[in-house]
Amino acid sequence: MSEFSFRSLTFMLLLAFLIWSCNFETCIARRGKHWRQSRPSSASVSKKNGKSGSHGSNHKQHHGGVSKPKSPSHNTTPPLPVPTPAPKPKETVKPNPPQKGYNGAGSTVFNVQDFGAKGDGSTDDTKAFQTAWAAACKVEASTMLVPADYVFFVGPISFSGPYCKPDIVFQLDGTIIAPTDFNAWGRGLFQWLEFTKLIGITIQGKGVVDGRGSNWWQHNAYEDPLDDELKLIVPLNNTKVNPPAPITSELGGKMPSIKPTALRFYGSFNATVTGITIQNSPQCHLKFDNCVGVLVHDVTVSSPGDSPNTDGIHLQNSKDVLIHSSSLACGDDCVSIQTGCSNVYIHNVNCGPGHGISIGSLGKDNTKACVSNITVRDVIMHNTMTGVRIKTWQGGAGSVQGVLFSNIQVSEVQLPIVIDQFYCDKSTCRNQTSAVALSGINYERIRGTYTVKPAHFACSDSLPCMGVSLTSIELKPVQERYHLYEPFCWQTFGELRTPTVPPIDCLQTGKPTSNHIQTDYDSC
């Protein structure tokens, strides 16, 4: 064999040995821990480039500082899967102390049961509610949860908010019940559950606030003031109309004379109540005092028609109020609009039993009252004492102006339309010349049936009612238990824009010839 042939053969054998050694090292490396640790970087690059390492990738893998040749294309051994690291838990902002709560639906939730509430209907859960609120109060847009399927026994609480973060949600899905032992109330309190000085507070859910007020009604009914319009209702047998008989109480014990409101908001901005039921309050069910931006919708108020002074919704010194899509059954005004209210819009409300929707009473004890821009429309009233009413005391000052009652459907309502500027909830009241001035009061599309009198306008001698307009009034009598009366007007001036049924001829057109000029104190 020639020297050239021998060298060629030697070179070919050496080359074959090198190739065999290289493939063997690659296979061993694939099984090694060191390869798996360095592999993810190149594998991820291959995937981003849309290429696989078995299809001729040109990138180099560095192993021990030696550049290794690529694997043969026929090698189909798949790489081992790369473990995916567990996601890092999201950080939840928690108050300290206590550090309880969980993050759900983007809001930190504080369940009262995590703070010791039992929810068995007998254990006092007041402290647990207070502690849960204190925790929620420190977290913006947090939720305090009262869970469903539990009954929480809670005493008087003030959910105070001067230092609370805004936009707290009180999620009420369970039931909250009030104490029925007079010892829990001391000498009496003006409210049971109070939300004070909050921004963006919302109470929502399908839960129930139960004031269990029958014990209050039983022992104090005859001490309560009487609605003045009772004097206009005369039974057919001429017997005296007595106060409603109080509900019989099985709880026993005389309750304090000061009866609490079930749920009260004071000094708050953008307060919302939706979805819940408030029932059997000792006195008023839901009250807003000194609030700006109030929204109430899809709320149910439920108390017997003979439960004394149990207003459904009470507004005082509040503005920019919207109430809609709610059902209000109680023993007094379904909605009561007091002094200091403006820009109030009420629509799509069912009212009854109760005393209708009222502005007032205003001007009691020679006080000044200012109410303006009130709209009540698309309301159904059944079996109520009055329908839409304005009531003021003699001796008051201020004004009521810019009121619209529209599309009110009444069914067996005793007094559908009332203005009473001689209101008095006592046995006797002193005659006085000053009065709250009424102007721009508009009634339109008020239709249905009445059982006593279709319209009663009793206005001040010194400050007659002005700008009273009637449009499309159709009221038909239903005689059941009471004497029926014709429409009544006293010092009432305005305009009949369409014929009315029955005719309300007593309304005087134009303006009064002489009228008391309001002083600066009178004007609003």
Catalytic positions, please?
355
33: tokens are: 């821990």
Q: What share of the chain is helix, strand, coil (3-state, %, to 5)?
A: 15, 40, 45
CB 383 within 8 A of CB 360: no
Cα separation, 328 vs 375, whole angstroms: 17
Cα separation, 159 vs 168, whole angstroms: 11
Question: What radius of gyration, in Å, describes the C-alpha atoms of the chain?
Answer: 38
- Residue 439 identity: S
Cα separation, 209 vs 205, whole angstroms: 11
User: How many Cβ atoms from other residues are within 10 Å of residue 218's Cβ?
Assistant: 18
Which residues are bridge partners to 501 per DSSP? 474
DSSP 139-205: STT-EEEE-TT-EEE---EEEE-TTPPS--EEEE-SEEE---SGGGGTTB-SEEEEEES-BS-EEES
391: tokens are: 């009531």
The four Cα atoms 278, 284, 286, 287 give a dihedral, to 10 degrees, of -170
Which residues are bridge partners to 296 per DSSP? 273, 323
